[in-house]
Amino acid sequence: MTVNNVNRTSSAETQVVFIKTKSKTFGILGLVFGLISVFILSVLFVPLSIVFSVLGLLKRDPTNIILGASGLVLSLIGLMTSPMLMGLVGLGFMR
């Protein structure tokens, strides 16, 4: 009687696939900080919104461009509704 001692291990290899997606983090942060700057703490959130919105615009992704532009518009609105920032920029004379 012969016994075939065959090792039946799987020869399947494990592959790790990295999918590079375009991140919308900068655009989202610019939009959120711009929205917050309209209502509270404009002195803090307007500069953050401008920085992250510009970084989102530099990503060259259509979604990031929309989010970054919206963040810039909201940060401009936050700048115009903050009396402290208007005084710093020199727009305090427009009462």
Give the domain ranges of the chain: 25-89
Cα separation, 80 vs 6, in Å, equals 79
* pLDDT tens column, 65-81: 888 899 999 999 888 88
User: Per residue, what are the HEC states of the chain?
Assistant: CCCCCCCCCCCCCCCCCCCCCCCCHHHHHHHHHHHHHHHCCHHHHHHHHHHHHHHHHCCCCHHHHHHHHHHHHHHHHHHHCCHHHHHHHCCCCCC
pLDDT confidence of residue 79:
84
pTM passes above 0.85 = no
